[in-house]
A = this chain, B = another copy of it.
Amino acid sequence: MRIGFIGLGRMGTGMASRLCQAGHEVIVYNRSAQRMQPLLDLGARAAMTIGEACAADVVFTMLADDKALEEVAMGAAGMIEHLAADAVHVSCSTVSVALSARLAHAHGQKRQGFVAAPVFGRPDAAASGKLFMVAAGKREFVDKVMPLFEILGQRTFVVSDAPEKANLVKLSGNFMIATVIESLGEAMSLVEKGGVDRHQYLELLTSTLFNVPIYKNYGGMIADRNFEPAGFAAHLGQKDMRLVLSAAEELKVPLPFANILRDRFLNLAAHGGENLDWSAIGSLASKDSAVEA
């Protein structure tokens, strides 16, 4: 199968590498051309334009946000214009429910396939094929790309035949993670100000009821008060909370925890923390209670 891959950030690079290593013919495109070199070393071909990357059966996109995806897909000389009928666009970016729905419609008008397949996992999981894939789209298109998902991820969850539902699930998953960060931040502030060692407290939590990496890793960053380097930057977390709340507004679902998370990210950004790891919002409860003082 001939595969196009657009967007070679850390996640995209890992994923495209997996596809190359599995023996597929891969044409890569990235706005900054120098990021293509590692893939070329693995046997990929370089596309000079989005259109060239669209000369494929399946084209993946892994981009930073709505704006980037919208330009790549719907801009002049974009994917909608270049993709063949029956070719499938697999959108792995964490983007809005609304954009995903618009893309589904636009591709459908051109008889192109569209599958939303946002992922859970960090760059190392992408590079080692350990992602969790959350996929949605018409059955025939999902079936076509499923063998590729097996290369990219350890498990694929097909949640709907409407592509945008996958984005809703992905965003709500990021919301769940952010609630873990905030709850750890609040609980650690409380016990620490009460005189309990925060590292010992975290050890207690994560060796009993909360014995999973997500609590251990984020809890560790909060206990260490070290939010660099960013595994996932706060400005991306902020964006995701905005997208969660936007989807919730469209669906008329009040989400009190999400509101608090939104305010935490704004507070962090107002004080220059956009590029810290998003777990840095877990430090704000301590700031509010002047724990260090």
Contact = CB atoms under 8 A, between A and B. Distances in A.
By secondary structure, the A interface counts as helix
14 contacts: A159-B200, A168-B191, A172-B201, A176-B184, A176-B209, A186-B255, A189-B255, A211-B212, A253-B288, A254-B263, A254-B288, A256-B260, A256-B263, A271-B293
B260 A132 contact: no
Interface residues of A, number: 74
A254 B266 contact: yes
Interchain residue pairs A-B with the least CB separation, the first 6: A259-B259, A254-B263, A179-B183, A253-B289, A252-B270, A270-B290
A23 interface: no
Contact of A266 (B184, B211, B242, B289): B289
A271 B289 CA distance: 7
A260 B258 contact: no
B254 A165 contact: no
A208 B132 contact: yes
B257 A182 contact: yes
Interface in A187-241: 187, 189-191, 193-197, 200-201, 203-205, 207-214
Contact of A205 (B176, B195, B244): B176
A173 interface: yes
The oligomer's copy count stands at 4
Contacts of A260: 256-257, 259-260
A244 B186 CA distance: 11
A195 B165 contact: yes
Contacts of A289: 251-254, 266-267, 270
A134 interface: yes
A177 interface: yes
A269 B252 contact: yes
Interface in A243-291: 244, 247-249, 251-260, 262-264, 266-267, 269-271, 285, 288-291
Contacts of A179: 179, 182-183, 257
